[in-house]
Structure 1
Amino acid sequence: MMVEPRAGRPRASSREVLAEAACELFLEKGYESTSVADITQRAGVSRSSFFNYFSSKSDVLWSGLDARIDGAIAALRELGADADATAVRGILLTVVHDFAPDPSALALRNATAMGLEDELVRDTGLRHARLAAGTADAARRSGIGAIRADILGAAHAAAVLSSLRVWAERGAGHGSPESLFEEALAGIHDLPWRA
């Protein structure tokens, strides 16, 4: 049975409506207690529509950030042997640049209310690993040894994800992800790209 969307809800796209419905339900019922069927019913779309946009309930929270990470990893690959600190950091800045509040930011800010603490640890770890590997690969292609490359990758990925987490936890109007990323990079300034 299809449920009509609530009056006043803009129909920007099914993806946005699904994400909004999911976040509402995660806040109301908790992440674990919310099913895909609950989300589709709240959004007034079919189950197949949900899976046209998201591969899982968790994907609702992360798809926007994942697209940014995918773009950064592709750009890092394109650097080849020309990867240096400035180029790599410029690419990583694109992950946080103009980051608007989205489901992942809402989840980071409301992890306890949504019952997402364990999910966030696991899912943030996966994003950290992907971004760290992409950055480490860029470092290795530029001639940096494996151990140093892995350390650089982990530190830079932590800078990206930590800046997003702190920004989300502080809430709107308390700085930007870009400024927090720059602050995080200052924290690893003593870890130069090349020894």
Structure 2
Amino acid sequence: MTTETRAGRPKASSRETLAEAACELFLEQGYEETSIADIARRAGVSRSSFFNYFSSKSDVLWSGLDARIEAASVALAGLGTDADGAAVRAAVMPIVHGFAPDPLALALRNAQAMGLESELLRDTGLRHARIASAVAGAARSAGVDEIRADILGSALATAVLSSLRVWAEQGAGQASLEAQFDAALRSIHDLPWR
């Protein structure tokens, strides 16, 4: 039986096909050893097509979460002086709500096999800083002092990212990420908004 490759876009979404190809290759040969050209070839698209969907190899893993963080940041900035603990948590909740298993969840669960430990540590730090900064900005807009605002931002960012990591490591889709996040929020209840 011969396999024919068709020119043009694959039947499935090229974005999904590229992400699937990337994850397969990361598992087979490791993150560092996988090039963008390898991913494009596996997905059956051109290297330039890769950049229609992702800005980098790392973006394959993080783009879904980054979009959620950006939306939460916009919502947090929109709270202005009305920001309080409940409003901020409501603005942050969409980051985890309905989060389906994706390349990031697979990477978190298989970090060692994919050779991603350093990449995930570094890039998680960037996402932590983005969430923490957005939350702290909302707190400062509502009159919370600088240090408390920074602490609240860091605590909520840690709750989001730790929940996501634990959920993925335990088998994304096996439990509720929202429940994991609620438990994380309960663990920081000693950090009142004011």
**Alignment TM-score, normalising by the size of structure 2:** 0.94
How far residue 174 of structure 1 moved from its aligned partner, in angstroms, is 3.6
Counterpart amino acid of residue 70 in structure 1: E
Corresponding pairs, count: 188
1:170 match: 170
How far residue 173 of structure 1 moved from its aligned partner, in angstroms, is 5.0
Q: Distance in 2 between matches of 1:171 and 1:131?
A: 24
2:37 match: 37
1:53 match: 53
Using a 3 Å threshold, how does the CA distance of structure 1 residues 25 and 89 change in structure 2: closer, same or farther? same
Q: Distance in 2 between matches of 1:145 and 1:81?
A: 13
RMSD of equivalent CA atoms: 1.3
How far residue 48 of structure 1 moved from its aligned partner, in angstroms, is 1.0
1:62 match: 62
Deviations 1:110-167 (A, max 9, x none): 0000000000000000000000000000000000000000000000000000100000
- In the alignment, is the contact (CA less than 8 A) between 2:105 and 2:172 conserved in 1? no
Counterpart amino acid of residue 97 in structure 1: H
2:5 match: 4
How far residue 92 of structure 1 moved from its aligned partner, in angstroms, is 1.0
Using a 3 Å threshold, how does the CA distance of structure 1 residues 173 and 60 change in structure 2: closer, same or farther? closer
How far residue 177 of structure 1 moved from its aligned partner, in angstroms, is 0.7
Q: Distance in 1 between matches of 2:94 and 2:37?
A: 34
1:127 match: 127
Q: Distance in 2 between matches of 1:59 and 1:118?
A: 15
1:150 match: 150
Deviates more, 1:82-91 or 1:10-19: 10-19
Q: Distance in 2 between matches of 1:84 and 1:132?
A: 15
Q: Distance in 1 between matches of 2:21 and 2:173?
A: 25
Say yes or no: does 1:91 pair with 2:91.
yes
How far residue 12 of structure 1 moved from its aligned partner, in angstroms, is 2.4
How far residue 184 of structure 1 moved from its aligned partner, in angstroms, is 0.3
- In the alignment, is the contact (CA less than 8 A) between 1:11 and 1:17 conserved in 2? no
- In the alignment, is the contact (CA less than 8 A) between 1:40 and 1:47 conserved in 2? yes
| 3-state secondary structure, aligned to 1:99 | coil
Q: Distance in 1 between matches of 2:61 and 2:20?
A: 10
Counterpart amino acid of residue 39 in structure 2: I
Deviations 1:58-112 (A, max 9, x none): 0000000000000000000000110011111011110000100001101100000
- In the alignment, is the contact (CA less than 8 A) between 1:80 and 1:138 conserved in 2? yes
Q: Distance in 2 between matches of 1:29 and 1:43?
A: 16
1:102 match: 102
Counterpart amino acid of residue 161 in structure 1: L
- In the alignment, is the contact (CA less than 8 A) between 2:163 and 2:177 conserved in 1? yes
Counterpart amino acid of residue 116 in structure 1: L
Identical aligned pairs, as a percentage? 72
